[in-house]
A and B are shown apart, each in its own frame.
Chain A
């Protein structure tokens, strides 16, 4: 149980176009979903936190208009990179969190490799 999927796993797009990445919790309802960006040989950088039905909370330095997050349901969140540029090329990872057994658990998706040419 507790599987999180991301689609697509890899995407190549041209500069100036927009790309949508989906994150789904397959067998549980997620209280919160997180979007991270991972640079080569670096850590995960939290981009934003989203709760179903409410606006995402973006971390400092992350452009809200460039990285649009929609959290339509308890099992689906999307990240849209608008007007992508080569510097947006990165590995994007989502995670879904739920409360369980008095605790709080986070599960990661496999990531999406975005390459902007």
Chain B
């Protein structure tokens, strides 16, 4: 069935370090792909998305490219800040009569000053 696999965390980085959080998916058809972020004590917020192959989503310095050949949507940021500490969820959206979202397990990022 359709699924999303994320790298396990937690990921601990120093400020200004490079971040990569891996995400791969399995889906029939052509899903849209998303990264959501959940800050402590808050709900999920959309970080970025890509709706078709080779699209690059970007927001707040984060980027992810929809790679159909490797079924991946890895999240990257060139220089993380303490304020980026949060849990990041990769998700796909498929349409099967109605839209349905499937989430990965989440990766906790902790950035140290």
Report which A residues bind B (CB closer than 8 A).
4, 32, 34, 41-44, 46, 49, 51, 57, 93, 95, 97, 103-111
Report which B residues bind A (CB closer than 8 A).
36, 42-46, 51, 89, 93, 98-106, 108
Q: In the complex, what residue of chain A is closest to B95 when comparing beta carbons?
A: A104
Q: Are B42's CB and A51's CB within 8 A? A: no
Q: A43-B104, A43-B106 are in contact. Are A49 and B42 (CB under 8 A)?
A: no
Inter-chain pairs besides A43-B104, A106-B46, 9 sampled, C-beta below 8 Å: A32-B99, A41-B108, A46-B100, A49-B98, A93-B44, A105-B46, A106-B99, A108-B44, A109-B43
Chain B residue numbers with a CB within 8 Å of A43 are 89, 103-106
Chain B residue numbers with a CB within 8 Å of A57 are 98
Q: Are B99's CB and A97's CB within 8 A? A: yes
Q: Are A46's CB and B89's CB within 8 A? A: no
For the complex formed, measure the closest distance between the CB of A9 and the CB atoms of chain B, giving whole angstroms. Answer: 10
